[in-house]
Amino acid sequence: MTSTSNRYCGLVLAAMILLPVLAVASLALPWATKLSSLNETVDDRQDQLNRYRRLVQSLPSIRAELEQVRSNDDFKAFYFKAETQALAGAQLQSQVQDIVSGASGRLISTQILPEAKQEDPSRVRVRTQIQGSTDTLLDVLYKLEQARPFLFVERLSVRSSARPETSLRNTRRRRLPAQQMGELTMRIDIFGFVLGAES
């Protein structure tokens, strides 16, 4: 009887000790996991904050360099100088027209594309459709590369304007008319940068 009651008392005492320990452990483990996750998040945010601080600290020097470039007359030759974005667009259209006619191409259409906000310096962009030969395309691209102010090709698509003729005798045999050989239609988006433009 005594050993049984001693054993029973020992089990009750062990249960009284183990139950609080298990309860504390079941609360402490998720809490520790959450705390570790929060610490990692804080570290990530601290790294991000440090990067942003470095960027903010470098902003005055970047602005000073930009002002130096703007005031340097040597660099002004590489930008369109116009009071408004519309005037810069007209200058770009005129320059593209001269380039295309100088390359013996036909300017089908040209339109000024809307400007992207928050650009400094701002860009002026045109979409141009040109007809000509392969040599015309190469000549236009070469002249765009050599142009001052700087011009950049943003998008370029080329398709053939030729339509194959189908012979009545043999529908499988197709040939191109002699006058349409080598004719291409080119769509080019071109942009340049503008100093001092206002919308």
User: 3-state SS of 68-84?
Assistant: HHHHCHHHHCCCEECCE
Query: Cis peptide before 121, with omega less than 30 degrees from 0?
Result: yes
Residue 3 lies in a domain: no
| First CA to last CA distance, the chain | 101
- How far is residue 63's CA from residue 75's CA, in Å, rounded to a whole number? 16
**In the chain, how many domains are there?**
2
Residues 112 and 147 in one domain: yes
For all residues of the chain together, what is the average pLDDT? 82
Clarify whether residues 23 and 90 are in a common domain. no
pLDDT at residue 192 tops 70: yes
Residue 126: which CATH number?
3.30.70.60
Q: Tell me whether residue 94 is in a domain.
A: yes
* Cβ atoms of residues 79 and 194 within 8 Å: yes
Query: In this structure, are residues 154 and 92 in contact, taking their beta carbons and an 8 Å threshold?
Result: no
Residue 150 inside a domain? The answer is: yes
Within a domain: 168:
no
Mean predicted confidence (pLDDT) in 65-76: 74
Q: Are residues 121 and 189 in the same domain?
A: yes
Query: Residue 144 in contact with residue 128, Cβ under 8 Å?
Result: no
Residues in Cβ contact with 105 at an 8 Å cutoff, skipping those fewer than 6 apart: 130, 131, 132, 136, 137, 139, 140
Q: For residue 2, is it within any domain?
A: no
Q: Same domain, yes or no, for 130 and 56?
A: no
Tell me the backbone φ, ψ of residue 80, rounded to 5 degrees.
-75, 135
Q: Is residue 171 part of a domain?
A: no
Considering the domain architecture, whether residues 40 and 87 belong to the same structural domain is answered as: no
Domain boundary among 71, 98, 116: 71
Length of the chain: 199
Helix (H, G, I), strand (E, B) or coil at 113: strand
* One domain for residues 53 and 111: no
Report pLDDT for 164: 60
Distance CA 126, CA 92 (A): 8
Dihedral over Cα of 146, 155, 92, 127: its sign: positive
Highest mean pLDDT among 30-39, 142-151, 159-168: 142-151
Considering the entire predicted model, what is its pTM?
0.54
**Structural domain harbouring 62:** 8-71
Q: What percent of the chain has a predicted confidence (pLDDT) above 90? A: 30
Statement to judge: residues 101 and 151 lie in one domain: yes
- Residue 77 pLDDT more than 80? no
> Angle 194-128-198 (CA atoms, 0-180°, nearest 5)?
25
